[in-house]
Amino acid sequence: MKKVVVKICAGTSCFVMGAAQIQALEFTPPEDIADKIELVEVRCMNLCKDTTAKYNRGPFVMVNDELIEEATFEKVVEKIREVLKNQCD
Amino acid sequence: MSESLFIEVSKEQCQKYGEDCFGDTVYTKKIPEERRIISILSDGLGSGVKANILSSMTTRMAMKFVESNMELLRSSEVMMDALPICQIRKISYATFSIVDSELEGKTRIFEMDNPSFIFIRDGKEVKVKSRELSSPKWKERTINVSQITTQPEDRIILISDGVSQAGLGNKLYPLGWQRSGCVDYILKQIRKNPYISAYDLAHGVVREALEKEVEKKAGDDISCVVLYFRKPRKLLVLTGPPFDEDKDKEIAEMVSLYDGKTAICGGTTANIVERELCLKCEIDKTSFDEKIPMASKMEGVDLVTEGILTLTEVYRMLKEGIDKQKDNAAVRLANLLLDSDKIDFVVGTKINIAHQDPNLPMELEIRRNIVKKIFRILQDKYFKEISVRYV
Ligand code: FES
């Protein structure tokens, strides 16, 4: 089965918005998804510089091709599980 | 020797247990016009405030005299006259060691009553002949004068008697650690790491002296100054995208053409260099830390870090001391800065709009300001040679 690619933004503004907590996926991933994900740390994806948005919607995380705004550890894990489930179906 | 040396000077001190100020004083001054560095260690009689006043007076006076090249014997008479006299020992009491170094290689050392300086060359202690001077007025005090033509990788170390006498009263060290114990320790450290910085060595000596003390409580003021002579180590720090995008290529090429180590601080800056030089850049997960974004690895570049948060943390550590337990990006950058002698900063002035967002949970410094603070402290506290260019 193809691994789910998770890109976590490690840029300054995503980092202060809480990306560090999501990086925990790297070291202490929930058991059920541990070997099914591939984590990639990326630098600023320029999403934080979107001036049309009213406020910063970071931290930004991409799960495969899906963008998660205001990402949290839980939100990302949930999304990964959803993607995995869809892959199985 | 034609090539001019760089001298890394660093000190570490620990005050006598229970006192709230240092009885020893260390004072270092760089005189760039004369390409000269003067470093003085003075130990005031006793400890605490009184000793502090004696030793600070001594260093200030000595600095003035040495700086203006006043005749030494005369100067020391003036100093001894000026200092208050100890009732019991009838001597005006503050000892001193003065190292007066010219970057072209000539170094003179003047000492009165401190443990004699330690000179290390080629991994060995070398004894230096000295001349003794004494003033007719203060016969019981003598001053030793030595001269050395320094070479790259030489080290001169000054210690106060708090170092040589550390451990006195401890069964394991009935006579204290002694100067010889300290020399052995220094040689061992240099054998382990021939390029050990003055900063690490001075800290190591004081830490080790403290280890010897009963209950690890300093029985006297413990001070160590290390002067490390070396060919200047150069570092280029690139931080921030240039105001004008046309300059991207020029900035990136600075990295590939630089004749020294290079560091990039800032995600966008790293992106520019990666793009312009077609280099691959990958996050280095071994630098994980909850407070500081991870460093990255890029071929041909010694360190790549995030920008503002890392720089802000580096500034804090340069002020308060480096976190030895951690290995995050900021610690790596701070160590790289301290290990370098000549640092060229290239600072991009483009403002990152995302950082100005009032909704961010913390306030982010403006790059230009934090870099200014960093280079001031590198200049004033660590005696680095700094150049800054804004683009
Ligand atoms: S810092 Fe994450 S998108 Fe800019």
pLDDT of B1 higher than 50: no
pLDDT over 70, % of chain B: 97
**What integer pLDDT is reported at residue B299 of this predicted model?**
92
Average pLDDT over every residue of B58-69: 91
Handedness of CA B65, B71, B72, B73 (dihedral sign): negative
More confident residue, B60 or B140: B60
Of A13, A26, A55, the CB nearest to B355: A13
**What integer pLDDT is reported at residue B128 of this predicted model?**
95
CA distance, residue B341 to nearest chain A CA (Å) = 29
Asked if residue B162 lies in contact with residue B185, where contact means CB atoms within 8 angstroms, the answer is: no
| Interval between CA A3 and ligand 1 midpoint (Å) | 24
Residue B91 banded pLDDT, cuts 50, 70, 90? low
Q: What is the ipTM of this complex?
A: 0.82
* Residue B18 backbone zone (phi > 0: left; psi -120 to 50: alpha; other: beta): left
Q: Count CA within 13 A, CB hemisphere, residue A33.
A: 24
Place of tokens 């995008």: B245
A56 by Cβ neighbours in 10 Å (0-12 / 13-18 / 19+) ranks as: buried
| Interval between CA A68 and ligand 1 midpoint (Å) | 12
Residues A4-32 pLDDT 10s? 999 999 889 899 888 988 988 888 888 88
Residues A28-84 pLDDT 10s? 888 888 888 998 888 888 888 876 766 668 899 999 989 999 999 999 999 999 998
Of A20, A44, A51, the CB nearest to B267: A44
**Residues within 6 Å of ligand 1 by CB:** A 9, 11-14, 44-48, 58, 60; B 354
Task: Give pTM, 2 decimals.
Answer: 0.77
Residues B183-214 pLDDT 10s? 999 999 999 999 999 999 999 999 999 999 98
Which CA distances in Å does B368 have to A35, A69, B78, B353? 43, 30, 47, 14
Asked if residue B70 lies in contact with residue B76, where contact means CB atoms within 8 angstroms, the answer is: no
Residues B140-165 pLDDT 10s? 778 899 999 999 999 999 999 999 99
Residues of B in contact with A23 (CB under 8 A): 288, 294
Query: Can you read off the two tokens belonging to residue B14?
Result: 């620990």
Best mutation target among A7, A9, A12 (most B Cβ atoms within 10 Å) is A12
Q: Atom 1 in ligand 1: which residue has the minimum CA distance? A: A11
- Where are the CATH 3.60.40.10 domain residues in chain B? 6-230
CATH of B6-230, one of 2.40.50.140, 3.30.450.40, 3.60.40.10, 3.40.50.620: 3.60.40.10
Place of tokens 């790289």: B336
Using the Cβ of B357 and the Cβ atoms of chain A, whether some distance falls under 8 Å is answered with yes
Mean of all residue pLDDT scores within chain A? 87
| Interval between CA B53 and ligand 1 midpoint (Å) | 53
Coil, helix or strand at residue B35: coil
Residues of A in contact with B296 (CB under 8 A): 43
Spatial CA neighbour of B256 closest among B239, B240, B279: B279
CB atoms under 10 Å from CB of B23, counted, come to: 29
pLDDT over 90, % of chain B: 66
Using the Cβ of A41 and the Cβ atoms of chain B, whether some distance falls under 8 Å is answered with yes
Ligand 1: which of A8, A22, A60 to mutate, most ligand atoms within 8 Å of CB? Answer: A60
Which residues are within 8 A (CB) of B80 and not within 5 positions of it... i.e. 6 or more apart?
Answer: B92, B135, B137, B138, B141
Residues B306-323 pLDDT 10s? 999 999 999 999 999 998
**What integer pLDDT is reported at residue B89 of this predicted model?**
67
pLDDT of B78 higher than 50: yes
Q: Atom 4 in ligand 1: which residue has the minimum CA distance? A: A44
Ligand 1: which of A13, A56, A69 to mutate, most ligand atoms within 8 Å of CB? Answer: A13
- Distance, in Å, from the CA atom of A23 to the CA atom of A36, rounded to the nearest integer, reads 16
pLDDT of B2 higher than 60: no
Asked if residue A22 lies in contact with residue A62, where contact means CB atoms within 8 angstroms, the answer is: no
Residues B123-140 pLDDT 10s? 999 999 999 888 777 777
Catalogue all structural domains in chain A, each as residue range(s) with its CATH number.
4-88 (3.40.30.10)
Q: How many residues does chain A have?
A: 89
pLDDT of B304 higher than 90: yes
Q: What does DSSP say about strands A37-42 and A4-9: parallel, antiparallel, or unpaired?
A: parallel
